[in-house]
Amino acid sequence: MLTMNFMGISFMLLTFERGFKFSQAVHHFVYIYVFVLFFIFRFGGITKKAAKLEAKLKEKAAAQAESKKG
């Protein structure tokens, strides 16, 4: 949410000079944060872990539904 807010502010400044002054004031941390998160998600294997977790949750929900029926 914080990242979206900063990106929106950066877009609304509409000039490079004001945008650069704003990013200097916040030490460019949001823009660095976005690229770091991209690399973590891309190369960290988080999507595979999320898929495994989702499969476990679906399996658990199916087992609960089966136990309620019978």
Whether the CB-CB separation of 45 and 39 falls below 8 Å is answered with: no
Model confidence, pTM: 0.46
Largest CA distance in the chain: 68
**Domain membership of residue 39 as a residue range:** 2-69
**pLDDT value of residue 12:** 76
Determine the residue type at 36. V
Kindly report the average pLDDT of the chain as a whole number. 83
pLDDT level of residue 2 (50, 70, 90 thresholds): low
pLDDT digits (tens, 9 = 90+) for 39-59: 888 898 888 899 999 999 999
- C-beta neighbour count of 18 within 10 angstroms: 12
| Short-list 6, 8, 4, CA closest to 29 | 6
Phi, psi for 69 (deg, rounded to 5): -70, -45
CA distance 66 to 70: 6
Q: In total, how many domains does the chain have?
A: 1
